Structure 1
Amino acid sequence: MLAYPNIDPVAFSLGPLTIHWYGLMYVIGFVAAWWLGRRRADRLGVSQDAIGDLLFYGALGVVVGGRVGYVLFYGMGRFLENPLWLFQVWDGGMSFHGGLLGVLLAALFFARRHGLAFFTLTDFIAPLVPIGLGAGRIGNFINHELPGRVTDLPWGMPFPGMGPQPRHPSSLYEFLLEGVVLFIILWWVSATPRRRGMISGLFLTLYGVFRFAVEFVRMPDAHIGFLAGGWLTMGMLLSLPMLGFGIVLLAWSRRQPMTN
């Protein structure tokens, strides 16, 4: 059994301004996406400055879509009791699936503005996303969020506020799978010519598989619990459409032209 590291969620303070590690993780994700995107801007046929615009639209999609998605998927009852809770972003969190929908809408707007095929753009964006996903899971771990289920594995650790029983560090599993592994695969595959839509399909398929698998060792949201059978969680349910659409997109991409 390992000890849960005691890391202060507050990274530093500047007078009345308090900077949390979780917020810094978002900054790391956006900066990494901007830097990597500029390195490959010529492949998309846009200027490096246009990558900054893409990042701005994407950031809006992540924040607005992530919050609205969390409210719709995980907190509709609370929202109906207090609609202003939607804007209390410090209470309740964000949803990846909602953030993904927000990014897709932002990509649609950017693609139309720059005359790009939608899936050409999403293929460009997909390898830029996992670093932000991984950084966000580190932020969850520092914040004592996303507790795992009880385990007797040697790397289990007592979760703060949940008693002495060792639990799966599920947020670290997601960091490794959704962050490190997903980035390596997508960046490597996208380095060579491939069919349009393949990278987007691969992203959806792999993320769906990784998230669905980790949900078996991650505690369901306390206010929702299991949806059915004592094992089906909301995270699993939301990942199934991603997995299905990813597989369909991979099949569709086999008939599409090659892209750089």
Structure 2
Amino acid sequence: MTLLHDIDPLAVTLPFWPHGIHWYGVMYLLGFGVAWWLGRRRVRAGRLPGVNEEGFGDLLFYGMLGVVLGGRLGYVLFYGFEAFLANPLMLLKINEGGMSFHGGLIGVMLAAAWWTRRQQLHFFDTMDFVAPLVPAGLGFGRLGNYIGGELWGKLTGGDGGVVFPASLPAEYARLPAEQLRELHASGALDAFARYPSQLYQAALEGLVMLVVLVWYSRKPRPRYAVSGLFALLYGVFRFAVEFIREPDAHISYLAWGWVTMGQVLSLPLVALGLFLLWLSRHSPTLAPSSAPGAA
């Protein structure tokens, strides 16, 4: 049995704003909201010694800028550089989609490095604090991808899967929604059903990583350990899901008919995660302390 993707990407329509408020933007707000809530709890538990809730608020603000700016720049660099050269203004068209996790990660790390220097902390003490705050945003972001009907998986070749209208051949993609519903009910679109890879990523990169990292970081861990586990888990999960995810049409496969850009970008994260976990074996462990000014 297949499912026709029939979700309006607009969460709210506004008479004074032609683009409205997209579910994708709402997902970003939810991700930042969870990061703020969880981060405050961790500050109050003394997980980042010497930092109070006001200081964490600054870190979160800079991190939000890093996610948005780094995510967009990363997408342009890794996935759409030729389009950018042809039309540099596409960099500003965030409403049309196009964000990169790897670019967002670099943006967050740069923002955290700047904030850390001002706070006179060790960079990886900050990153170990931040790592458990990230998966919720990843999970909500992938739900936003699914609602928007983008970044779908490969054809299932079977009876199950989701039919994404935007992925249909041109003769179907131009049809009105009601006619697509009729065709789907008749089974005419079953051959175009795809894996909902966005939901698989939401489950792995979001829910599973959130549970594991929050559980793992409940106890004081050696420096580098939480960051290393984050990098390792994300790299492995992303590499695995790429096997059923349709590669970007303008990039396709990079080698051997199965290696994708997402896999190439994830391998350094796996290596980094293993290296950080190795470093953690002989690194100091920060003891929780009362955050100054905490409620």
1:139 aligns with 2:144: yes
- Equivalents in 2 of 1:155, 1:109: separation in Å? 48
Counterpart in the other structure of 2:279: 252
Counterpart in the other structure of 2:216: 189
Q: Which has the larger radius of gyration?
A: 2
1:206 aligns with 2:208: no
8 A contact 2:5–2:163 mirrored in 1 = no
Counterpart in the other structure of 1:35: 37
- Please list, as runs of the form range in 1=range in 2, the aligned pairs for 1:2-151 lying within 5 A after superposition: 2-17=2-17, 18-41=20-43, 42-45=46-49, 46-151=51-156
Tell me: CA distance 1:166–1:259, structure 2 relative to 1, closer, same or farther (3 Å). same
Note the aligned Cα RMSD (angstroms): 1.3
Percent of aligned positions with the same letter in both sequences?
A: 57
- Please list, as runs of the form range in 1=range in 2, the aligned pairs for 1:152-231 lying within 5 A after superposition: 152=157, 155-163=160-168, 164=189, 165-231=192-258
- Equivalents in 2 of 1:227, 1:258: separation in Å? 41
Aligned residues: 260
> Which of the pair has the greater relative contact order for Cα pairs under 8 Å at 6+ separation?
2
The one-letter amino acid of 1:220's match is P
- Equivalents in 2 of 1:33, 1:129: separation in Å? 7
Displacement after TM superposition at 1:153 (Å): 5.8
Question: TM-score, normalising length from structure 1?
Answer: 0.96
8 A contact 2:162–2:194 mirrored in 1 = yes
- For structure 1, the 5+ residue unaligned runs are none
| SS, match of residue 246 in structure 2 | coil
1:209-256 CA distance string (max 9 Å, x none): 000000000000011101111100000000011111111111011110
Indicate the larger mover: 100-109 or 159-168.
159-168
Tell me: CA distance 1:227–1:111, structure 2 relative to 1, closer, same or farther (3 Å). same
